[in-house]
Amino acid sequence: MKRFTAKIVDMIKEENLYASQGGPVILSQIENEYGNIDSAYGAAGKSYIKWAATMATSLDTGVPWVMCQQADAPDPIINTCNGFYCDQFTPNSNTKPKMWTENWSGWFLPFGGAVPYRPVEDLAFAVARFFQRGGTFQNYYMYHGGTNFDRTSGGPFIATSYDYDAPIDEYGIIRQPKWGHLKEVHKAIKLCEEALIATDPTITSLGPNLEAAVYKTGSVCAAFLANVDTKSDVTVNFSGNSYHLPAWSVSILPDCKNVVLNTAKINSASAISSFTTESLKEDIGSSEASSTGWSWISEPVGISKADSFPQTGLLEQINTTADKSDYLWYSLSIDYKGDAGSQTVLHIESLGHALHAFINGKLAGSQTGNSGKYKFTVDIPVTLVAGKNTIDLLSLTVGLQNYGAFFDTWGAGITGPVILKGLANGNTLDLSYQKWTYQVGLKGEDLGLSSGSSGQWNSQSTFPKNQPLIWYKTTFAAPSGSDPVAIDFTGMGKGEAWVNGQSIGRYWPTYVASDAGCTDSCNYRGPYSASKCRRNCGKPSQTLYHVPRSWLKPSGNILVLFEEKGGDPTQISFVTKQTESLCAHVSDSHPPPVDLWNSDTESGRKVGPVLSLTCPHDNQVISSIKFASYGTPLGTCGNFYHGRCSSNKALSIVQKACIGSSSCSVGVSSETFGNPCRGVAKSLAVEATCA
């Protein structure tokens, strides 16, 4: 570990990247969240942390070192917070800054799980609360979603998509309103900068679940007003003025008087994205392609490589494969003296993560663990023949454990027992301690079939659909345009895919999330957890798999699949991602956009709330207004509808202001639209399209 850490530090120093050298690197981190598990190691864990701290600081980076989630981080290491909320966090010394190294913008998706998301109102609340209570540094995890290409997923059953509901999504598209609202939050905090860096906050209670924090020194003053109640909006009195605070929100007052932003009131537009399906455009003329456009090679069942080896007993998988492959074959031949066609049961116990069992070359059954429990036990009915029978068990991993006390000992694979049950006279046969033959990986992996350029690809015989252990290949033209691209793997079972030799990751569209745990909408009020806000229950966890445009050529692209369970590749299609609609919903009680802060003082005119729309691409203009209502509109983006009160001028006014422009702004007030219902709080809701 010391050699590795020193190597990384030396590489950074050689490029003059540390801030102490004039570069951009302002912090170094040693260890990560070890404090969550170090108690399991007792005194050795404490000694290790002291050693790691001493080792790191001895490397003389010229910038501070941090340890995340390490309450006893030795001086001068700064202990920091990771989590959904860090406002209550306190560093272990008053000489250390309060730092939030991982603000979790969402959560990861497991295969077999529903899709988690985190409402931006809650995320903005968490950010504002952190700075309200003396925070100095905050970092998002994740700010840009990603993709676990190849076999890089960081933990068992983590899906290939690592979108994380981040402000910028897996495809590089800004996720609205999350990105825009957080941008406004940070602009608002920036307006308080002079006060924030000059002094510590004075925190007082304004009532139950109500809190004010004031940063004041001389003539400089900034304040944060928080309502941490999960249900009730309130009006509070602060410094002689009244302020309306929605539940679970923070208002930011850069001058201790005027609200520039409330975390629950979103000025930013939201966007609805959609995927447009395109058929797989096969390149014509490939000599290998069949009438389906696909060629194929069957992966042999069981032992097929020269580097296989015998071993008595059942081996743990990770130490056997050294992660060279997801796959490990366990193969055994037995002599069955019973009647041909006799039904027995093959009992298998595995540490995970999944397996396929073959009897005499035929798939007899499969089983998988899940993200909460990797281990499993399965009883597979099998039919044996008289005499020699071959049992081939293909065990596979779906990402490796990378965190937890003693996680290196958790293991994977079939460690047994493996027992044949239901033999003659009710006997059983324990196969666990017999001499098994092992093969690390697949023959097709050794042959480099993933590149598509090697091997004897077949296109002449009957095209194999819904059969296990098949390599498939086709050539295709890239979807036109510049929109992000994904492959829809509906119709396939489980496996891995490569585009032009680059692995786009494991696919598993047949792993369906539970029907329970999702809601039509998620109440942002109250503490967030990974299971609070989820969508896509009862559906496959992931059907769309990102293919970077940079990996594609206009034509002549090669797509290779390895299918484990059985599927139909002719059902595969490409999709491209577009922004379908822009929406905004702004009330007459919203603060003006942060960029208009103090503009009323400069212009002499009172500035009110504004609804703004901007097309996502520079070459686009607003082409239509699908909905506009000023009054009491209801619903959400894509499903707005008129309430009991609605101005009959709204649509024409918004159309005139917006159509033909790349962006537009409309004041949200009765001065603009007339007053359709006096004495009622009103808002403006708009849905537009760009082209």
Residue 376 has pLDDT above 90, yes or no: yes
Query: How does residue 342 score in pLDDT terms, banded at 50, 70 and 90?
Result: confident
Residues near 452 by beta carbon (within 8 Å), at least 6 away in sequence = 473, 498, 501, 558, 559, 560
Confidence check: pLDDT of 434 > 80? yes
d(CA 1, CA 7): 10
Q: Which residues, including other chains, have CB under 8 Å from residue 2's CB and lie 6 or more apart?
A: 55
> Which member of 14, 31, 33, 170 is catalytic?
33
Known active-site residue 316: no
pLDDT digits (tens, 9 = 90+) for 652-681: 999 999 999 999 999 999 999 999 999 999
Mean pLDDT, residues 166-179 taken together: 97
Q: Judge contact between 512 and 540, C-beta under 8 A.
A: yes
**540 secondary structure, DSSP code:** B
pLDDT confidence of 461, banded at 50, 70, 90? Answer: confident
| pLDDT per residue as tens digits for the range 227-269 | 999 999 999 999 999 999 999 999 999 999 999 999 999 999 9
Query: Over 90: is that where the pLDDT of 285 sits?
Result: no
- Domains of the chain, first to last: 2-193 (3.20.20.80), 272-300+446-577 (2.60.120), 309-441 (2.60.120.260), 609-690 (2.60.120.740)
Peptide bond into 590 cis (omega under 30): no
d(CA 133, CA 14): 39
Residue 287: pLDDT above 60? Answer: no
Using an 8 Å Cβ cutoff, are 150 and 324 in contact?
A: no
Tokens coding 188: 């608002």
Q: How far apart are the C-alpha atoms of 325 and 150, rounded to whole Å?
A: 11
**Cβ burial, residue 585 (10 Å; 0-12/13-18/19+):** buried
pLDDT at 430 over 90: yes
Question: HSE on the CB side for 509, CA within 13 Å?
Answer: 18
pLDDT score of 604: 58
Question: pLDDT digits over 192-215, tens only?
Answer: 999 999 999 999 999 999 999 999
Exposure string of 283-308, with b = 16+ CB inside 10 Å and e = fewer, is eeebebbbebbbbbbebbbbbeeeee
Active site residue 33: yes
Identified catalytic residue from 14, 31, 102, 671: 102
The DSSP bridge partners found for residue 684 are 586, 630
Residue 211 has what pLDDT?
98
Q: How confident is the model at residue 286 (pLDDT cuts 50, 70, 90)?
A: low
Summarize pLDDT for 514-554 with one digit per residue, the tens. 999 998 889 999 999 999 999 999 999 999 999 999 999 99
User: Binning pLDDT at 50, 70 and 90, where does residue 283 land?
Assistant: low
pTM of model > 0.85:
yes
Please list, residue by residue across 103-138, b when 16 or more beta carbons sit within 10 angstroms of its beta carbon and e when fewer do.
Answer: bbbbbbbbbbbbbbbbbbbbbbbbbbbbbbbbbebb
pLDDT band at 362 (very low <50, low <70, confident <90, very high): very high
Which of left, alpha, beta for 342 (phi over 0: left; psi -120 to 50: alpha)? beta
pLDDT, tens only, 610-627: 999 999 999 999 999 999
Q: Is the pLDDT of residue 601 over 90?
A: no
Q: Report the alpha-carbon distance of residue 45 to residue 36 in Å, rounded.
A: 11
Backbone region of residue 505 per phi and psi (left: phi > 0; alpha: psi in -120 to 50; beta: other values): left
